[in-house]
């Protein structure tokens, strides 16, 4: 019997190109058993249209509580922030501790934190005269862009770059990074199903995420992987 897919809620705020990369990766079996079950957005956007085209439920989530409600309704085991701008707070961080990934358009810990999103990140990189930039997939915690790093992809900063050209170069790497990071998360979730005793009901009202020790181990292993899972062009 094949193992049940890992159910994922993907969160977006804009065009949804990273969501599209995930959808295409799922079709070719590149998410390590992951399956996108729904898409949530904090505003009307093309990402929700992509969800509709893929036959997936779409949610408008104005608050962190809405995200938790949508995740519970869809039985999501992991959350993937694929270009999602709002800061997640509250109970969803506790319920999904160790199971939320975020994609950030810089090489964290550089150029993260308040105000570091969109073209503003790339403008700051250019103003700092950095010679390289890239993107980071990391776990989400109660801080801002400071959760354990899962992987990074790097690109050169060229002498004639402007914020848009740098953003375009990094975006191509984002599409790869979000797929690789999501696959790593799904492998961890598959492993922890076995550790937790092989639960058959994965609705969040009945599923136990192993233990605090298991979550701590997940985060520690992710930090170790960040040292060996970085990719350079």
Out of 104, 122, 138, 175, pick the active-site residue. Answer: 104
Burial 87-108 (b: 16+ CB within 10 A, else e): ebeeebbeebbbbbbbbbbbbb
CA atoms of 203 and 77, how far apart (whole Å): 8
Between CA 186 and CA 196, with CA 190 as vertex, the angle to 5 degrees is 135
Decide if 39 contacts 14 (C-beta within 8 A).
Answer: no
Q: From the CA atom positions of the chain, what is the Rg in Å?
A: 17
Active site residue 63: no
Residue 78: strand, helix, or coil: strand
Active site positions, annotated: 104
């Amino acid at each position: 019997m094949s193992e049940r897919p890992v159910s994922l809620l993907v969160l977006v705020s804009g065009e949804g190109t990273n969501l599209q990369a995930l959808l295409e990766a799922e079709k070719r079996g590149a998410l390590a058993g992951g399956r996108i079950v729904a898409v949530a957005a904090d505003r009307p956007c093309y990402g929700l249209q992509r969800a509709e085209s893929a036959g997936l439920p779409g949610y408008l989530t104005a608050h962190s509580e809405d995200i938790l409600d949508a995740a519970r309704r869809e039985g999501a085991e992991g959350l993937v922030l694929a270009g999602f701008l709002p800061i997640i707070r509250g109970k969803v961080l506790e319920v999904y501790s160790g199971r939320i990934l975020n994609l950030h358009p810089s090489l964290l810990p550089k150029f993260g934190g308040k105000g570091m999103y969109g073209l503003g990140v790339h403008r700051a990189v250019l103003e700092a005269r950095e010679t390289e930039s890239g993107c980071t997939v990391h776990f989400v915690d109660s801080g801002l862009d400071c959760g354990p790093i899962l992987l990074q992809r790097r690109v050169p900063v060229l002498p004639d770059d402007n914020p848009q050209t740098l953003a375009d170069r990094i975006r191509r790497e984002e599409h790869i990074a979000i797929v690789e990071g999501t696959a790593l998360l799904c492998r961890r979730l598959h492993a922890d199903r076995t550790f937790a005793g092989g639960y058959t009901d994965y609705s969040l009202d009945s599923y136990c995420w192993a233990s605090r020790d298991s979550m701590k181990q997940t985060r520690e292993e992710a930090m170790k992987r960040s040292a060996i899972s970085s990719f350079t062009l």
